[in-house]
Amino acid sequence: MTSSRLPVIAVDTANLPLQDQFDAWRQAVGVTHEITSKHAVERDGLHASSTVWRLGQLVVSYRNIPDLTFSRRLGRASLDGYDHYSLIMMDRGTWTGDVSGRDITIHPGELCLFDLARPEDNHVTDSSSLRILVPRAPLDAALGGRTLHGLPVRGGAGALLVDYLRSLHHRLSEVTLDEASHVEQATQAMIMACIAPSAERAEIAAPVIDATLLQRARRLIDANLTSRELTPAAIARTLGVSRSVLYRLFEPAGGVAAYVQSRRLARIRALLTDPRERSRISDLAFRHGFVSEAHFSNAFRRAFGLSPSECRALAAEEERRRAGSEPGELYHSWVRGSTFR
């Protein structure tokens, strides 16, 4: 039996009459803050959308909103009973505001933590953001009384947490109730390890941190396959980790250099099977960091069991055979053509 997905609430004002959009949005998501708009909402409406998931004790939401002002007054914070921290990650647009007398600005790709027990005033431009409501007790215990209100999460830890949260957002719709507690624990561990690092918390979050680092490293490598500066030292420096950490991450793949070479070979194979690619084989090899044709040819044959010229010839023959064949073959060409595109 297939387990149910996470509980989700989706709100989109686009299908409502213009004069009703702002009130509907305020009632739907204005649970923790008062919301005001600079728009002439009765005339122009207010198009906003939000998707909210319940992940155990965590409440995760992703919002697309126009220019809005949010405020949380001390009286409301004292009376409504929301005893949480709110972690905001800006994906698009800018958050600016006053937090306990301090001016704070959050740009895309940045994080900030807020204490819902304390007041704040802020303005958000036309934006997209991810928000997680986190129970107070675990973070208070982790920080030992240190204030978290308006705490920016920056540096390497902040970048890791941003990558993890983006991945979490894209995958939440696939998480089942059976998996929810594991994902919740991993998310809490990741947040605490990045906001309040300690040896114990880092150890708990280590699998999540390693997976996120490896994902970042793979993206970096794929984006720079034609760069001659794609060395282990450069990759480690860009990721902000030591070379020993990088080597450990790629040990199951045979090492960093082996992984880079395998991705370069895969990219070249994709180009050789693309009828639109007319470059000479030697040019493709040199462009992707191989210093000699012989070295490239030997590596290609070891990886794929045929020479680069045989690969291109077979791909051309297959293209001719498929020309004019049944429509179902279009799917095959799409799949093959999508590699590295």
CA distance 192 to 148: 12
Judge if 184 and 306 occupy the same domain: no
Judge if 21 and 170 occupy the same domain: yes
Judge if 179 and 229 occupy the same domain: no
Residue 214 lies in a domain: no
Give the domain CATH number at 266. 1.10.10.60
* Single residue among 157, 173, 204 that ends a domain in this structure: 204
| pLDDT tens by residue, the chain, 341 residues | 456 888 888 889 988 888 888 888 888 777 778 888 767 766 778 889 999 999 988 899 999 998 888 888 766 655 566 778 889 999 999 998 887 677 888 999 998 888 887 778 888 888 999 999 888 777 776 665 566 778 788 777 888 889 899 999 999 999 999 899 899 988 988 888 887 654 444 455 557 667 778 888 888 999 999 998 899 999 988 888 888 888 888 888 888 999 999 999 989 988 988 888 889 999 999 999 898 899 999 999 988 888 999 888 888 877 776 665 444 444 444 444 444 54
Domain enclosing residue 91, as ranges: 8-204
Count the domains in the chain. Answer: 2
Cα end-to-end distance, the chain, whole Å: 37
Q: How far is CA 144 from CA 9, 84, 118, 234, in A?
A: 34, 16, 18, 37
Which sign, positive or negative, has the C-alpha torsion 33, 34, 38, 40?
positive
Name 123's bridge partners.
69, 96
Residue 209 lies in a domain: no
Residue 219 lies in a domain: no
Judge if 230 and 177 occupy the same domain: no
Ordered DSSP codes for 43-75: HH----EEEEEEETTEEEEEEEE-SEEEEE-HH
What does pTM read for this prediction? Answer: 0.60
Judge if 228 and 193 occupy the same domain: no
Which sign, positive or negative, has the C-alpha torsion 206, 176, 81, 116?
positive
Q: How many CA atoms lie within 13 A of 245 on its CB side?
A: 17
Q: Which pair of tokens denotes residue 305?
A: 């069991």
Residue 210 lies in a domain: no
Give the domain CATH number at 100. 2.60.120.10
* Single residue among 174, 204, 234 that ends a domain in this structure: 204
Residue 13 lies in a domain: yes
Residue 277 lies in a domain: yes
Please report where in the chains the tokens 């983006």 appear, as a residue: 166
